[in-house]
Structure 1
Amino acid sequence: MKVFTTQPFAVIYSLFAHEYLGYLFESFVVQVNTKQQLTLQHQNISPKNADEFSSRLDATDYKLISLVEQIQQEAVVKKFSAKKTTVADFFLKTFDAEKGDKVLQDTICRYVQGRMAKILDLLRHDKQVFIMGKDGEPTWKEIKLAPEKASILFHFRRNEENTHYFPTIKYAGEKLEFQYKDAVLVCNEPAWLLLDGVLYSFQKDVDGKKLQPFLNKKFILIPRKVEEAYYEKFVAPLVEQFDVYAKGFDIRSEKYAPSPYLTFSEIAENDNAPQLFVNGNGHLNGNGLNKNTSNVKILFHLSFKYGEYSVSTQDLKRVSVSLEKTPDSYVFHRLIRDIEREKNLIKELGNRALEVKNGKAYLDKNLAFAWLAAHAQELQEQGFTIKQLNGGTKNYFIGEVRVSVGIRENTDWFDIYGTVHFGEFEIPFIKLKSYILNRKNEFRLPNGQIAIIPEEWFTQYIELFAFSDGDDTELTLRKHHMALVNELQNGNLAVVTMSRKLEKLREFETIEDKPMPVGFKGELRPYQKAGYNWLHFVKDYKFGGCLADDMGLGKTVQTLAMLQFQKENGAQSASLLVMPTSLIYNWLNEAQRFTPGLRILNYTGTYREKTVSQFKHYDLVLTSYGIVRLDKELLKGYLFDYIILDESQSIKNPGSNTSLAVRELKSKHKLILTGTPVENSTMDLWSQMSFINPGLLGNQAFFKEEFLKPIEKEKDEVKTKKLHSLIKPFILRRHKSQVAKELPEKIEQLTYCKMTEEQEQAYEETKSFYRNKILKGLEEQGTVNTQFMLLQGLMKLRQIANHPRLADTAYEGESGKMKEILRMIRNVVGKGHKVLIFSQFVKHLDIVRAALDERHITYTYLDGNTKNRQQQVDRFQTDESIRVFLISLKAGGVGLNLTAADYVFILDPWWNPAIEAQAVDRAHRIGQQNTVFTYKFISKDTVEEKILALQNKKLQLVTDLISTDESVIKNLTKADIESLLS
């Protein structure tokens, strides 16, 4: 029936018995009459309607109403039923005497009991509590909650035949007679006893099941034959928690100061934690551990010794009880523990980063022994006993661990010496070499104990051991490992003794200025002069060097200056310069221009003289990587002054025949030149560095594991910095942006390309055909009448010089110029630059396009048929993924603004240099912030060389007047024509 909120009402809580769930409470509101008496008019109150009655509710009521709601049978079914069912079906099935779900029953019981305990505790706050009548009347009988808690005393009386056991209860100093009084336990965990209309709770949370048997029984009888087990399992825990009165056996309370024991043992990480207990000797026992696993942890176990007793810290109980059997009785030793002291000692471990929970802590093996080395001595001074558990297969050393390393400069190397201290044992540092390199951390001491090498030593000293030479009795480092020596010194990992001379390696700014050789023609820009000085610097220290300047900054001229210096300062043998075949003529051309005094041998071609005896007549031998592979056995018998590798990324694969061949050659000095020291992988760097400074980066396997994998797969910045510090003294790399102020606005360079044999054959056949016809026509008809044939012939020769496929679509061979073009594109694009590529032949651009497509290099394209010209320009200017713009001369010579590019490739020379200049100016114009590098590709020994010579000869004429090929032809003399076709 409905309760009106406009009239007085009260909130009450009514206790009733549920068939399956035990005793429960239900919450009600009850109408109050004018005499302030509760009436029969009532209704349930729940969280859904509680706000209607808020005027009479306090915060405790809201909590109680919520808890009461949670234990009603409908709420229990909703929470624990996996599928939709009725309340009756759920309870009949779950609590069936034979087929019921015992696990679910226990779960529900714990759930209900937990909430009943909270409800009973909250009802102490002056709440009205009743027993519900059998007719459902909520206010049938009022009950009270005792304001104080009762105490309980357990009695044991042992005689010759058995032991009698029973409890007594006291409240407010008076004994409560509860047996045979219709007392009811309304909650078991903890016990709440309803006796004579009063609900009692207990000072020590006693389990109601310990009282239940005695509600209608005077005592329990324990037969003599089972008493020992009963005492151990039941009586001892009672003695720990409650007051016990005993007759026939002793209970002795004892008190001592606790002594902490920290034991440790190995445990495989994938094993389940063992079930552990502490025996009378204070040792930790457990199941068998898998000692074969490589992933091992150390289990620490903390216990406390009180006199002769040892207790685990899994439970911080104020009292611990152990049972002693005497000849005719038993003694319960009731140990009073100092819980505050135990907590403080656990905190001491926590302050040292060992978090002990339930008496245990786990650490990785390396961390565990590092922790022991750092803290064991200090903890022992504070009273801790630290030891390994007996029964382990290995006896570990846990004393102080430290190392002292010294590095001393010798004539051509560094001597490494040092001592490792494991407590009283002193071990030569060299003895750790195989352990560090193989990452074995267990070192056996002379007394048989196993010492754990600290994990940080593997990081700190692995390069030292990996890069060192020597046998089992000595360690040495080559001088080129100066950066590693500095790092060890700066990290206080070694004491270093060295000469002042080596200090120059620390900073390049201290490099001595060297005079230029007398025979060098020309002038080096300031940054080139600095590079020339650096080449002397590494040479004087007998190091190999890598000159890795950006393309176009003059690696060739800096190298030639050094070679000229060597010649003028008494070099005893020739130097060897190895390069891709396509670069031979560029080097010859540059040498003729800057160092005409160098005696140079072009050691290439099928008909080369295969003997090293001829080298004594030369200062410099030019050859290709292919020739080195073929003539390796011959060349390795000669001691060169310098071996220089141009485009040294050619040996980036350390296992290739080329790499293996060049490493077998011998020289006093080594130098590599490259604009791209790393093309695909960090291993590229290892291969090149190992050529100039063998052993600098260790062997391949070490480098892959310690540098390549962490840098490329794990993006390890520490390893990247470490590698940089190792190679920094031996690489000089300047970018265009760094030397921009020293560069002219435009830099133009000729790139000579050697034709392939098939290409050369096609060229010679075409040249012979047209030469005979044209020269005959000149004799018979004069210059004017042979102009068309001359124009046709020169066009064919120019096409073949680019790629024979331009003149003959059936040609299936390669082009020397195309190989060089693609190599240069890869270099420029690989370093993040943008390049314009011009040709007057659309077919030539088509061949380049096909090659770029094959290599997955994106580009924009423009020729006379392109409709969306501005769209192509905008894409190139704004899209960072597009690095190449292919442009035909007629379509792109004028009217384009392409300032995103800082490189221009002219694939074929044009008669009018003014037209070439217009092409370059597509990039070099207002808005361009970078120096523009122009490369003009010229096929060696072709008409293209003759066109260049003609340009220079008649520069003013072609600049002022000539605008077409026909114009040029009209102005050619008979001598000019013969020169072009020679």
Structure 2
Amino acid sequence: MSGGVEIPRNDWFRLSLKVTVGETEADLAPILTEIVLSLPPDVLAAEDLEDLVAEARFYPTLPDGRHFALDGGPIAPLIKAFQELTGLAGEMHLADAETAWRIAEALEGSGLPFAGREAVEGLVRRLRALTDPASVPVPPGLEARLRPYQHQGVGWLLALSEAGFGGVLADDMGLGKTLQALALLVARHLAPGGTGRPSLVVVPTSLVATWRREARRFAPGLRVLVLHGPDRGARFGEIPDNDVVLTTYPLLHRDHETLFAQPWDVAILDEAQAVKNPAAALAKHSRKVDARMRLALTGTPLENNLEELWAIFDWVNPGLLGTRSQFRESFRTPIETHGDVAANARLAQRTRPFLLQRTKETVAPDLPPRTEIVETVLLEGAQQGLYETIRVAMDKRVRDTLATKGLQASRITVLDALLKMRQAACDPALVKIPAARKVTRSAKRERLMDMLEPLVAEGRKVLVFSQFVEMLKLIEADIAARGWDYAMLTGRTRKRAEAIDRFQSGAVDLFLISLKAGGTGLTLTAADTVILYDPWWNPATERQAMDRAHRIGQTKPVFVYRLIADATVEAAIHDLQTRKQALADALFDEGQSGGFDMSEDDLLALFKPPASSAAP
């Protein structure tokens, strides 16, 4: 019997062990799996497992149904390595250098003649290079002074590209992911000889102008083609003549057949959480891209559940985390449902070489401090009565729906009920029922105006965020009545750049922004104060709003105020946020674990009147 190692060209992370028995070639992994399953649990758990296997004889099955005799001695090292290092349906995955090296040592120790050691050793060298990328000079053609952590990031990206892997750059918002990605593109396209292929960058529509501006500023030597607008089809023929092609996620739905017929050098997804739903058409289209390297940029690789992380990594490095069902069995269910610390540690180990994530805390010398303050607002009188009326009605509606349809089928009803309660907490004017028309006072809006009075008098530069455009219009009316100058940005704003420039230049001190229009892609370092008028379900979304002001280029301390209506669903959501963020952070901390999914009891708790923090 002899063996060989095969690493598929399109899947660096799956190791195939081919064994030859006589004239029959078979995959050794199923054979080893059969042997492991035949061993009693006490033998598998024994410290001297290798010795016990060496003394045994096995009769595994070949693909044609025949059995053959196999002495345990030669395969004992392989059995131990296989038992320790597999977990995805009996497949060996080589996501880190030490795993790959132990497989090679086990093969060597088996005494069996085998071919392919050079391939494994080469993979080990490439994987080890990712853990400590050598310091590299700033790529010629990049007109920027990189901060130390950005320099490290560029070195990591270059190590990834040279090794033939993809990666996820998950730095906090505002730490320069776009600049680091541009440095990679400059190094590849402006080097002598070039790459022979253009690179593709897919971004949210709101970031097209940002990427074009940053490329002109930091990488003027790159030839950038922007495919946007109704006449973009006339420019498809220019794709091979450019270094970088910039398009958007919405246009990918329409243009994917043309774009993916072109081979690319680097394919980049900015705000890559856009493909977090693996069943969505956008995620399926993106997997068809033919590129030498895939790079995902996102400040939130994990927002709600582990499957989102799998979706991003499955695009970046297909096969790294197994299939969707394998990932669910080996990682998601053990971690989210059972709080399995060991599974969490294995997942962190497997993704670590291909994930670079720095927080603002790690680059504190580059940023002034940020102070976060929760402003609790008490609903009183008619507004409190309106909220309580809606809460009771929604509680009954949700309970009835859960009883008849179950949790999964009640999603729309639950979200609609939560929306009505949140609107009542924000301002009665948002609630479209006759009873709300009689309620003229809004505790939160009055508190906001009380806060803005001294801020405006002091000359502070303030961002006010809300999810509700209609809420911003109510605030706008209050501001206009006081004679304050302001700018406003919503999805309906046509002169977006003009509104941003008015604030950044100092022409106005107040900037009203809807979450959808301004939650990502803006640099508003003129601001020193951020007010989050209504809390958002996901803490990552709140951080993105804060990061409009608290990012590289900011020179002043930043104050962030959250307005929370006490004893309402807003307070319940705020309590949940702390739990959710801790769970998300646990993925990258091997010592932590936890579950993600809300139970029916957790959900119903949102419809109960929480105890007031102002109560005696």
The reply to whether residue 522 of structure 1 matches residue 522 of structure 2 is no
Aligned to 2:187: 565
Tell whether 2:368 aligns with 1:745: yes
**Partner residue of 1:633 out of 257, 280, 303:** 257
1:585 paired residue number: 209
> Could you tell me whether the CA contact under 8 Å between 2:96 and 2:349 is conserved in 1?
no
Residue type of the alignment partner of 2:204: P
Letter in 2 for 1:661: H
Whether 1:648 aligns to 2:272 is yes
Q: Judging changes above 3 Å, is the alpha-carbon distance between structure 1 residues 867 and 603 closer, same or farther for their aligned structure 2 residues?
A: closer
Report the 3-state secondary structure (helix = DSSP H, G, I; strand = E; otherwise coil) of the residue aligned with 1:546: strand
Aligned match of 1:574: 198
Which residue type is aligned with residue 915 of structure 1?
D
- Match of 2:304, SS state, is coil
| d(CA) in 2 for partners of 1:688, 1:494 | 37
* Maintained 8 Å contact 2:85/2:99: no
Q: What is the aligned partner in structure 2 of residue 703 from structure 1?
A: 327
Aligned residue number for residue 595 of structure 1: 219
C-alpha change, 1:848 and 1:705, in structure 2 (3 Å) is farther
Higher relative contact order (Cα pairs below 8 Å, separated by 6+ residues): 2
**Counterpart residue identity of residue 265, structure 2:** D
Question: How far off its partner does 1:919 sit?
Answer: 8.6
Contact kept? 2:203, 2:248, Cα under 8 Å: yes
Query: Which residue in the other structure is 2:308 paired with?
Result: 684
- C-alpha distance after superposition, 1:592-650 (max 9, x if no partner): 22112222111122221256431022211111122222122212210111110011111
Cα distance change of structure 1 residues 931 and 525 upon mapping to structure 2, 3 Å threshold: farther
Q: Distance in 1 between matches of 2:546 and 2:308?
A: 27
Q: What is aligned with 1:211?
A: none
Q: Whole-Å Cα distance in 1 between the matches of residues 15 and 449 of structure 2?
A: 71
Q: Could you tell me which residue of structure 2 aligns to residue 915 of structure 1?
A: 509
> Which residues of 2 match residues 473-622 of structure 1 at below 5 A?
482=97, 484-486=99-101, 498-499=120-121, 502-503=124-125, 505-506=127-128, 508=130, 510-569=132-191, 570-609=194-233, 612-622=236-246
CA contact (8 A) 2:525 2:549 kept: no
CA–CA separation in structure 2 for the residues paired with 1:438 and 1:712: 31
Cα distance change of structure 1 residues 550 and 936 upon mapping to structure 2, 3 Å threshold: closer
| 3-state SS of paired residue (2:247) | strand
Question: Equivalents in 2 of 1:509, 1:709: separation in Å?
Answer: 29
Equivalent positions of 1:395-410 (< 5 A) are: none
Q: Which has the larger radius of gyration?
A: 1
The alignment status of 1:674 with 2:289, answered yes or no, reads no
Could you give the per-residue CA deviations for residues 688-731 of structure 1, whole angstroms, max 9, x where no partner exists?
11112111112122111111111111111111111111111111
- Alpha-carbon shift at residue 846 of structure 1 (Å): 7.2
Shift of 1:432: 4.7
**Alignment of structure 1 residues 246-257 onto 2, 5 Å:** none
Q: Distance in 2 between matches of 1:467 and 1:662?
A: 26
1:587 partner letter:
W
Question: Residues of 1 paired with 2:34 and 2:328: CA distance?
Answer: 13
Could you list the per-position Cα deviations for residues 769-827 of structure 1 after superposition, in whole angstroms to 9, with x for gaps in the alignment?
xxxxxxxxxxxxxxxxxxxxxxxxxxxxxxxxxxxxxxxxxxxxxxxxxxxxxxxxxxx
Q: 2:243 and 2:204 mapped to 1: Cα distance?
A: 20
Query: Alpha-carbon deviations, 1:428-463, whole Å to 9, x = none?
Result: 983552884999659756679999999988853544
For the aligned residue pairs, the C-alpha RMSD in angstroms reads 5.2
Q: Distance in 1 between matches of 2:248 and 2:183?
A: 21
Is the 8 Å Cα contact of residues 141 and 219 (structure 2) preserved in structure 1?
A: yes
CA contact (8 A) 2:527 2:549 kept: no
CA drift at 1:543:
0.5
8 Å contact 2:16–2:29 — kept in the other structure?
no
User: Is the 1:744–1:931 contact (alpha carbons within 8 Å) kept by the matching residues of 2?
Assistant: no
How far apart, in 2, do the equivalents of 1:448 and 1:652 lie? 46
**Alpha-carbon distance change, 627 to 728 in structure 1, aligned in 2, over 3 angstroms:** same
Any conservation in 1 of the 2:224–2:246 contact (CA below 8 Å)? yes
Q: Percent identity?
A: 28
Question: 1:483–1:725: 8 Å Cα contact kept in structure 2?
Answer: no
Kindly indicate which of the two structures has a greater share of residues assigned to helix. 2
- Greater strand content: 1
SS in structure 2 opposite 1:691?
helix
Cα separation, 2, equivalents of 1:671 and 1:848: 45
Q: 1:626 to 1:506 in 2, by over 3 A?
A: same
Distance of 1:504 and 1:848 partners within structure 2: 60
> Aligned-pair distance for 1:663?
0.9
Name the amino acid aligned to 1:502. V
> Which of 30, 34, 37 is matched with 1:433 structurally?
30
Structure 2 partner of 1:383: none
Residue 720 in structure 1 maps to residue 344 in structure 2: yes
TM-score (norm 2): 0.52
Distance 1:559 1:846, change over 3 A: farther
Structure 1: which 5+ runs fail to align?
1-402, 469-476, 748-844, 851-859, 874-882, 894-905, 925-929, 938-982
How has the CA–CA distance of structure 1 residues 931 and 643 changed in structure 2, closer, same or farther, with 3 Å as cutoff?
closer
CA displacement at 1:541 relative to structure 2: 0.3
User: What is the TM-score of this pair, normalised by structure 1?
Assistant: 0.34
Letter in 1 for 2:269: L
What code does the residue aligned with 1:650 have? A
The separation in 2 between residues aligned to 1:437 and 1:846, in whole angstroms, is 64
Matched-pair contact (CA < 8 Å) for 1:527–1:739:
yes
The verdict on how the C-alpha distance between 1:483 and 1:611 changes in structure 2, with shifts beyond 3 A counting, is: farther
Which position in structure 2 is the counterpart of 1:752?
none
Going from structure 1 to structure 2, the CA distance change for 1:931 and 1:433 (only over 3 Å counts) comes to closer
